[in-house]
Structure 1
Amino acid sequence: MRREMVHPDSRLRRMIPALSLRSGALITAFLLSTSAGAQLLQTPAQTLAQSTLKGLTADGSVLRRGATTVTLDISGGYVVGVLTETDSLDDLARGVGAGWGLDETNLPKLKGNLSNPQLLTAARAGFVDTTDDSGTDLIALKVTGEGSGTRYAAYVAVNIWPDSAFPVTKAVTGSAAAPVTLRVFSDFQCPYCKQMWDKAMPAWRRDSATYRVMHYEFPLSFHRNAQGAAEASECAAAQGKFWPFADQLFANFSVWTPLDPKDAPAKYAAYAKAAGLDTAAFKTCVGQRTFKASVDAQVQAGLKVNVQGTPTVYLNGLKLSNYSDAREVARARAITTAQPSAASVIEARLKAFR
């Protein structure tokens, strides 16, 4: 599954993107030179087998050595968070490294980052932040005590966005009782979005008892007709016809996407008629750019949840790296629908760091 990106992404793992201090200043991001593996969302056995955890004694999902405790938070059969509590920066790096899937060679640099005086000072107040540009996981740090009594706590976990992080949209299909909510950020001029619409979307829409699909506008700036198409689709949504109009846009993708933006509205009107809209009201809506502010707000909301390109799909708040990977989808569904859910397990942990 490919995605059109907002901007080039180095994919470097960040220690923390921008750490706010009580003074309001910002600490520059700490970078690891090697991208971390996707260790979170593995089975407990896979996590426990990592070389970074050697020397710790396992008792179920808890590992111990001296004053160090590493606890695996498990939901739906997968590790969704790793909590490390210790008096040793070496062991703190091992616990964080286990959550990130780092090998032994990365631990010295990670320890050096964790030892940064500014970072440790800020961690006295505790903080929670995303760990990379994609926003797929979190890190929380807390330092307590002084001198030989200093204790460190770190928690790395998958990032599950709450419903409140997403804007309201009229472009919704599927049962409100469906166990899976898919939130899709899309661009009508994006070829990969068309691919998703043609291949994955029909199955999601047919299985309305399982999938509730919510569409969000995310027109990319280098697609000259994307903004206009997005606004037109919002005009269709205002008449309760988003989905048939969107079907028309993607079915006629090769017709309207090459046009000069001034010529595209005539095509939108034709597609609106085919979709059963009140075309007079639709033309007025498009001509007045009634929903420009709404489209712009959806883009800003997408940036806040780390949308980097289109299409981007969130399953029950969990950002998918590949919506067409059945194993990833099954894993995401398992942790988000488990009792207790991954989101509730993680949030309970994070309260100690805020």
Structure 2
Amino acid sequence: MKPCARLFVAIILLTATTAHAQLWHSPQETAGQAILKDYALSGTVLRRGDTTVTLDVAGNVVVGVFVQTSSLADLARGIGAGWSLAEADLPSLQANLAAPKVLTTAKTGFVDVTDDGATDVIALKTSGDGAKTRYMAYVAAKVWPDSMFPATKNVIGSAAAPDTLRIFSDFQCPYCKQMWDASAKGWEAAPGAYRTSHYQFPLTMHRNAQAAAEASECASAQGKFWPYADVLFAAYDTWTPLEPKDVPATLATYANDAGLDTAAFMTCFSAHTFKASIDAQIRAGIAVGVQGTPTVYLNGVKLTNYSDSAELARVHAATTATPSAATVIDARLKLFR
């Protein structure tokens, strides 16, 4: 990231409280926003004067909004269309875009995620000076490449499945238990459709979560991660309230229940064999915008609601299309680098 990058994003996003709102919608929905009512639509391109707003589409959903203009007001309007802003929000956004630090950074081109949640990306670049200044901006979905996720043995489902799910979870998180008991069971029951990977993200506020994560990795070393995870979540109300000193013996009991070699399990667990691996998984999660658990990615896209079948369908359509969302977005972002 270039110097001042995070400051640049902070300035722009002072009004961008609904970022991501129009991404993953149909082109008709995005083009039909009130703030674009004066633009002429042809296909997926909207025009007014020397301003063009291009909707980048994959799988019949909008994955990016590309703006070219000589007007800061129209630049704000185009960005606002990607974020579903109201007319009343645009003056503040325009003022933020006009900040000298923003314009100085934009002269060499800028690309970054919009916030720490990392669901979207924004790019800005200017050319020319004074009255001849031209602006390019792009707001798009963030599609993380496979290389951003660490290798894990905790995988279930066919390698040929069209959809890859990556779950960052905490065994002591009640919402993770809800996911495991509902959505995750559905994904597990459809191995031809979903290949699911589990990553450890124990939260420090859950005092037994780290121990459970290490225990599950020791189970994984014996090829029993999924059965052991099932036991952990099934017994959630039993082990989560325990004093940490009482947890190891209970986790050993669960190892026996899951069919593990209990002695080997305890040797692994007592030595904290997988602590470094778990730490690496946490770092990887933070790098792709994990802020809490559960966080679920579908084909590299961070889901806002993993239980929303409509959202999963839209992301599936865009990420498996030809060209895919990632291909479309990466091609556009090359203009800013």
Shorter-chain TM-score tier: over 0.9
Aligned to 1:216: 199
Aligned to 1:72: 55
What is the CA distance between 1:66 and its match in structure 2? 2.4
Paired AA for residue 126 in structure 2? V
Distance 2:327 2:121 in 1: 14
Residue of 31, 55, 64 corresponding to 1:81: 64
Q: How does 1:275-290 map to 2 (within 5 A)?
A: 275-290=258-273
Q: 1:28 to 1:173 in 2, by over 3 A?
A: closer
Q: Sequence identity of aligned pairs in percent?
A: 62
Aligned to 1:35: 17
Larger deviation, residues 32-41 vs 189-198: 32-41
What is the CA distance between 1:167 and its match in structure 2? 1.1
SS in 1 for 2:122: strand
SS in 1 for 2:165: strand
Residue of 329, 332, 335 corresponding to 1:349: 332
1:200 aligns with 2:187: no
Q: What TM-score comes out, normalization by structure 2 length?
A: 0.96
Q: 1:27 to 1:155 in 2, by over 3 A?
A: closer
1:174 aligns with 2:157: yes
Given that 1:20 and 1:26 are in contact with CA atoms closer than 8 Å, whether structure 2 keeps it comes out as: no
Distance 1:215 1:160 in 2: 19
Deviation string 1:160-183 (CA, Å, 9 cap, x unpaired) is 111111111110000011001110
Aligned to 2:93: 110
1:21 aligns with 2:3: yes
SS in 2 for 1:102: coil
- What's the Cα RMSD here? 1.6
Residue of 108, 115, 127 corresponding to 2:110: 127
SS in 1 for 2:10: coil
Given that 2:8 and 2:105 are in contact with CA atoms closer than 8 Å, whether structure 1 keeps it comes out as: no
Paired AA for residue 104 in structure 1? E
Distance 1:158 1:122 in 2: 22
Distance 1:33 1:146 in 2: 26
Aligned length: 335
Larger deviation, residues 100-109 vs 271-280: 271-280
Distance 1:202 1:149 in 2: 58
Paired AA for residue 106 in structure 1? D
Deviation string 1:168-204 (CA, Å, 9 cap, x unpaired) is 1110000011001110000000111111111111111
| Structure with the higher fraction of residues in helix conformation | 2
Deviation string 1:313-341 (CA, Å, 9 cap, x unpaired) is 11111111111111111111111111111
1:313 aligns with 2:296: yes
Q: What TM-score comes out, normalization by structure 1 length?
A: 0.91
Given that 2:16 and 2:83 are in contact with CA atoms closer than 8 Å, whether structure 1 keeps it comes out as: no
What is the CA distance between 1:93 and its match in structure 2? 0.6
SS in 2 for 1:110: helix
SS in 2 for 1:271: helix
Aligned to 1:255: 238
1:164 aligns with 2:147: yes
Residue of 34, 39, 42 corresponding to 1:51: 34
SS in 2 for 1:97: helix
